Amino acid sequence: MQFHTILTSIALLSCFTLSPLAPAHAQPKADASVKGKAQVDDVIVEMSQAFKKTDTKRLSALLPQIRGHILEPWGAYWELHARLESATPGEIQAFLSRYAGTYQEDRLRNDWLLLLGQSREWGTFMAEYPNFRMNDDRSVRCYALMTEFSSSQLDVAQQIEELWLAQREADDGCAAAAEQQIKADKIKPHSAWLRARLGMEMGNARIATQAVGLLNAEWANTAGAIYANPARYLTGKLLALRLRTKELVTLALVRLAVGDPDAAAAEIDKLRWKTQLTDEERSWVWGVIGKRAAMRLSDGAIAYFLNGQDKFMHDDQLAWKARAALRAGNWTQVASAITAMTEAQRKDATWIYWRARALLNLAPDEAARLETTRLLTSIAGVSGFYQQLALEELGQRIAVPAAPEPLTAEEKEGARLNPGLMRGLYAIEIGLRSEGVREWNYNTNLHSRGGLNDRELLAAADLACQHEVWDRCINTSERTKTVIDFEQRFPMPFKAALLKRSTQIGLDPAFVYGLIRQESRFVMDAQSGVGATGLMQVMPTTARWTAKKIGLTDFKPQQMTDPNTNIAIGTGYLKLVLDSFDGSMPIASAAYNAGPSRPKSWRGQSGAPVLEAAIWAENIPFAETRDYVKKVLANTTSYAALISGQAQSLKSRLGLVGPRDASAPETSIDLP
């Protein structure tokens, strides 16, 4: 990135009126020297560290030193957020006014609305909520729906129920809204039991106990005990917990199924549960049992699912039923599961594609072919795994689309004069990547200036590309709807080094680019939560092991932030993985993400079916790895089209996946 260019652009910003949402105070001062800015940069970074430590006094002491700096809104946000609970309404309103139109203004409003909701200060909440532009916080939305119901008795039950059931944590906002609706008899108790089931399955005891507690506070203790030991509850050995209802039994069976689906299947088949539980409750439990068996790639998964009725199962259970049926080659059950999904899930490209395939397999007549063509055409495209597969099913290949009209100087200047975008770039440059990314996303999203059109998005992406902030370049370019700049979406930094290294070791450079794009978005200093580093996100242990394998002497782990070293180590490891799995890109991608041992088991033992790699990938038990494999392979196909200038096939890269040929020598790449 050209830091001096950013500074020059920032200085120029003060010469223009950018937007009615961007007040003059938010513009940086053009006469500040680079040296002076660097000194204030250090203060900004220190404030970010103080914020993480909740050092309120230090934040307040440092704030005056950053007045007039481009990142002043961030420093002011940290300082006020740290003491928000004790801040006066006047202080908050002064902040919202001073930084009107910025991400920080809307972020603080979000924080304040949550506090107002928690303290039930509905008057102030209702006055401020209409100004909340992001409006993407489920808890805030639930509080707002509570106020709407209280003030005008609007029918908000369905909205609250959907928000509540979708929450991944036991928040106050949606729980309070659900409780309000349950007491008003607008949401039925059954929904609370559904919420508790989801908590039991996702391993969140707080969700389960909170949901049950809305119905009866004493039952929450029972739900907690069930979570800890479902088998003891089912066998009646929890003597202190005499409450036994079919709903609590259902929770116990769900929790048991998470750890041992076979044991849960044996338990629910007992006569007493057959007579006590409803068809809906039994079907839901069988859905959990089937899902957990499918995630273990058990051949018995479909049989478990068939004990229940699709119409009573959760979308996630139906998705796993469809995956298990694909693996078993049971197209009737693939179609059945997809048909039972909610409309929103059926519209996902994954299930449109497999619905089309199922239809053609079950009824290969003219009507089926026409409907299959309609379904595939609705998703076919050059970007995305199932979009590319749909294109190939229609007899086409993946080619680079025509480039859009070049950006004009005015369009580029519009992006460069956007204060939010420049703040984002500046924050990233001085090491505040998280803040910079959030700032950038806000200013390229629908919350800013009514949203950016496709040309404005291309200009913003171009700005990020010019400053080599590749992750924002890619993510912004991907959001265009009617035009595609393929070279912008699939940039090729470090091209000379990468092509040279790939050629030397016999590795497809498109595969390397496809993997890096998914791993790090070309962020050189990317660091994962588990310690993977650099462009190719290599773990320290893997890096040391690979360095020895490829003869890289005097290797030090800190060298992994150097792009050339990272590429050498990463491509070396990828080549070893690929060779170990007989050149299969899907398995090698899974191994790169989840480690070599897991894909070995996922491909099956002797006698396991040989599958289309698309079916194999869809059945990967880990959601992260499943998504990763599909994106890497789609990326690879796109990069191959760019590099070669020729239309490409995703299907040819996928191939088939099955057990390893027992007669072939096995090459172990297990790490020490």
- Please list, in sequence order, all residues whose beta carbon lies within 8 angstroms of the beta carbon of residue 373, skipping any fewer than 6 positions away: 394
Distance (Å, rounded) from C-alpha 605 to C-alpha 611? 13
Beta carbons of 351 and 322 less than 8 angstroms apart: yes
Q: Provide the pLDDT for residue 308.
A: 97
d(CA 241, CA 296): 33
Q: Say if residue 147 is in the same domain as residue 62.
A: no
Q: How confident is the model at residue 664 (pLDDT cuts 50, 70, 90)?
A: low
Mean pLDDT of the chain: 91
Any domain includes 666: no
Q: Any bridge partners for residue 538, and if so which?
A: 533
Say whether both 154 and 265 belong to one domain: yes
What is the band of 442 on the pLDDT scale with cuts at 50, 70, 90? very high
What's the token pair of residue 47? 């404030």
Q: Three-state DSSP class for 665? A: coil
Same domain, 218 and 279: yes
296-301 average pLDDT score: 95
Looking at 328, 346, 375, the residue that finishes a domain is 328
State mean pLDDT over 349-357: 98
Of 309, 328, 347, the residue that ends a domain is: 328
Neighbouring CB atoms inside 10 A of 35's CB total 7
Cα gap 625→390, rounded to integer Å: 22
Cβ neighbourhood burial of 12 (10 Å; 0-12, 13-18, 19+)? middle
Asked if residue 364 is part of any domain, the answer here is no
Q: CA of 670: how far to CAs of 336, 591, 597, 624, 641, in Å?
A: 40, 11, 7, 21, 33
Catalytic residues: 519
**Alpha carbon of residue 644 to chain centroid:** 31
Same-domain check for residues 110 and 160: no
Nearest to 572 by CA among 549, 541, 591: 549
Q: Does residue 235 sit in the same domain as residue 125?
A: no
Which of 100, 131, 162 represents a domain boundary (last residue)?
A: 131
Confidence of residue 670 (pLDDT cuts 50, 70, 90): low
The answer on pLDDT for 4 being more than 90 is: no
Q: What confidence score (pLDDT) does residue 558 get? A: 86
Same domain, 85 and 146: no
Q: Average pLDDT of 412-431?
A: 97
- Whether 42 maps to a domain, the answer reads yes
In tens, the pLDDT along 128-176 reads: 999 999 999 999 999 999 999 999 888 999 999 999 999 999 999 999 9
| Same domain membership, residue 144 and residue 125 | no
In a domain, 439, yes or no: no
Query: Looking at residue 656, what DSSP letter applies?
Result: E
> Is the pTM value of this prediction over 0.85?
yes
- What pLDDT score was predicted for residue 240? 44
Shared domain check, 72 and 199: no
Query: Is residue 449's pLDDT more than 70?
Result: no
DSSP symbols for 452-489: --HHHHHHHHHHHHHTT-HHHHHHHHTT-SS---HHHH
If one compares 672 and 566, the residue with the highest pLDDT of the two is 566
465 neighbors 491 (Cβ within 8 angstroms): yes
Q: Which long-range contacts (CB under 8 A, 24 or more apart) does 347-354 make?
A: 349/379, 349/384, 349/386, 349/387, 349/390, 350/386, 350/618, 351/319, 351/322, 352/376, 352/378, 352/379, 352/386, 352/390, 353/379, 353/386, 353/389, 353/390, 353/393, 354/322, 354/326, 354/618
Does the pLDDT value for residue 42 go beyond 80?
Answer: yes
Whether pLDDT at 227 is above 80: yes
Range of the domain at 175: 138-328
Do residues 125 and 167 share a domain? no
Torsion of CA 6, 8, 9, 11, to 10 degrees: 120
Taking residues 184-207, what's their average pLDDT? Answer: 97
Cβ contacts of 453 within 8 Å, gap of 6 or more = none
The pLDDT of residue 532 is: 87
**pLDDT computed for residue 526 by the predictor:** 84
- Minimum mean pLDDT range among 172-181, 255-264, 425-434, 658-667: 658-667
Would residue 509 count as lying in a domain? yes
pLDDT digits (tens, 9 = 90+) for 240-250: 444 568 899 99
Rg over alpha carbons for the chain, rounded to the nearest Å, is 28
Residue 474: its pLDDT value, please?
A: 98
Q: Do the domain assignments include residue 357?
A: no
Tell me the CATH number at 576: 1.10.530.10
* pLDDT tens figures, 469-485: 999 999 999 999 999 99
Say whether pLDDT at 530 is over 60.
yes
In a domain, 382, yes or no: no
Q: Which residue carries 């849960």 as its tokens? A: 264
Lowest mean pLDDT of 16-25, 28-37, 216-225, 497-506, name the range.
Answer: 16-25
| pLDDT value for 244 | 62
Q: What 3-state DSSP class applies to 529?
A: coil
Say whether both 98 and 142 belong to one domain.
Answer: no
Is residue 31 pLDDT above 50, yes or no? no
Rounded mean pLDDT, 25-41: 59
Identify whether residues 107 and 71 lie together within a single domain: yes
**Residue 436 predicted with pLDDT over 80:** yes
Q: In the block, which residue shows the tokens 């480690």?
A: 595
Residue type at position 125: F
pLDDT at site 33: 52
Q: What is the tally of structural domains in the chain? A: 3
Residue 5 has a pLDDT of 53
pLDDT band at 669 (very low <50, low <70, confident <90, very high): low
pLDDT band at 663 (very low <50, low <70, confident <90, very high): low
**What's the confidence (pLDDT) of residue 660?**
77
Domain annotation covers residue 75: yes
Q: What percent of the chain has pLDDT over 70?
A: 91
Asked if 340 and 320 touch (Cβ cutoff 8 Å), the reply is no
Examine the domain organization and report whether 71 and 181 are in the same domain: no
C-beta atoms surrounding 185 within 10 Å:
9
